[in-house]
Amino acid sequence: MRLTETADLWWKNAVIYCLDIETFFDTDGDGRGDIRGLSQRIDYLAELGVTCLWLMPFYPTPDRDDGYDITDFYGVDSRLGTHGDLVELITLAQDRGIRVIADLVVNHTSDQHPWFQSARASRQSPYRDWYVWRDEPPADADKGIVFPDKETSLWQYDEQAGQYYLHQFYKQQPDLDIANPAVRDEILKIIGFWMQLGLSGFRVDAVPFLLDTKGAQDAGRLPRPHDYLRDLRAFLGRRDGQAMLLGEVNLPYKDTRRFFGDEDGDELTMCFDFIGMQKLYLSLARSEPAELVKALRERPVPPEEAQWGTFVRNHDELTLDKLTDDEKQEVFDAFGPDKNMQLYGRGLRRRLPTMLGNDQARLKMVYSLLFSMPGTPVLFYGEEIGMGENLEIEGRNAVRTPMQWTKGLNGGFSEADPDELFRPMVEGELSAESVNVADQRRDPDSLYNWIKLLIQRYRESPELSWGQCTILDPGVPSVFAHRSDYEDGTVIALHNFAAEPTEVKLAVEGAAAGLRVADLLSGKVTEVETDGTLRHPVGAYGCCWLRVLHPGDRYLV
């Protein structure tokens, strides 16, 4: 294939790494990570093979929602650094071939934002109609609450304003009125500002909520909200033709497809595959991949220049909201039986290693699956070393603990007194004493080195992200088998969801004398029988990526 295609559409085979600056590396000893600390660790990300760094919110904030309650969309939180520090970080990343994207959180502001402070002070404020107000809340004010443990209504009465305001999330996060053209123009300015400083795109927070105008009495000013998403994409393309929008859209497949822009592909560049993620956990709970297979067969093919974002874990609760109640309970029983491990009645606040009993073979199989499935893999910081969670921390922050670099003080994250850390470390079996970067870099059998290998092979195999995916029948219920074809290249991937080893039998298309398969993960080469039959062992929780080799092929394997 033409390598220039992979550069122009870099997101189609990127390796995206999400992190929160304040949990990554602290250089000034205040117990909170900072931008300079991330800059000092940029070579670590380059060594791992990361090609796109996704920064969670770094904007000024009262920090009542881990930075998602923003008081200045153009600022940098002084506790993390300055604009100068951020530009230096972007420059260092780009020098190492790493693009940087950031969270775009514009469906709401903090109630401390100057816009809202002005809006609540007077009905004559120029910012009054930037928010959604009503004299009385609607009858369905308690429907669709996102955080049922904290909120009882989507409308909050404000004494100073003398009206109720809409908040789809926490009450301290009043919704912006996307139907107001002044708000839409401001969002474009925010995007333009950060792109001018070097960002290569944005992860767009809660996209369906951003486009939701049903609570606004002026909704008629934006009769087709998706038109605005097209405007955002067009503006992005004018400023930088290689910039991308990665959307958080947790909807059924048929509804998510629309956020790509359907066949035109003129809205979001990428959408997260929430359905596939949830079916993966159901399949893991059952030790067979049937539900994941079903999801992938139902998943729409994205527009030509778009892509699905695949992931095992993100920074929020591990939501299971698209499973049936019985399916959800299966996953809870398998991976989070205690109520303290669950959240909002719909998800888990655990990381994968603790859910799988820190079974390294099973962990490695899951990440092999992540990097071989069609889509662009997204990692959450610490996944590469198998970090756990701290359930003593409230809510979703249980999985947002400081990065574990060494077995020293505070896991090498900070030189502050442990009591002064802005968030506690993981304790117990998966504490920094036993799980850290320094030890795993030196261990050839570590999870870190496994994921580093997966990234290298993934980047060498454009079939996995660019090719046509075909689900195969391996004749073994516990094995997920698929092949990816692009131009003249073919990779077959096998993943065993069960604790018992097995052997698969597959028909390899295009069989001819001398046909072989080379396992890209182990280096082992297997001959294909002359009738095109491939027999291949798969270990307990085993996995392999098999490149099909014809006589005369010049692949480096």
> Which of the 8 DSSP states describes residue 175?
B
HEC sequence for 306-353: CEEEEECCCCCCEECCCCCHHHHHHHHHHHCCCHHHEECCCEECCCHH
Q: Which tokens hold the place of 298?
A: 């139902």
CA distances (Å), 77 to each of 103, 320, 330, in order?
A: 14, 33, 42
Rounded Cα distance, 518 and 509, in Å: 16
Q: Which of 77, 85, 205, 519 is catalytic?
A: 205
Closest-CA residue to 518 (of 493, 539, 549, 490)? 549
d(CA 215, CA 431): 46
Report how far residue 473's alpha carbon sits from residue 506's, in angstroms, rounded to the nearest whole number: 7
- Quick one: the chain helix, strand, coil %, rounded to 5? 35, 20, 45
267 and 226 Cβ atoms separated by less than 8 Å: yes
Among residues 166, 243, 236, 250, which one has the least CA distance to residue 205? 250
466 SS3 class: helix
In SS3 terms, 508-531 reads as: CCCCCCCCEEEECCCCCEEECCCC
Known catalytic membership, residue 248: yes
- Give SS3 for 57: coil
Report strand pairing: 52-55 vs 16-19.
parallel
H helix or E strand, kind and range, residue 489 = strand 489-496
Instruction: Identify the bridge partners of residue 437 per DSSP, sorted by sequence position.
Output: none
The reply to whether 205 belongs to the active site is yes
Q: Which of 69, 77, 248, 291 is catalytic?
A: 248
Amino acid at site 80: L
* Closest residue by Cα to residue 499 from 478, 519, 482: 478
**Residues labelled catalytic:** 205, 248
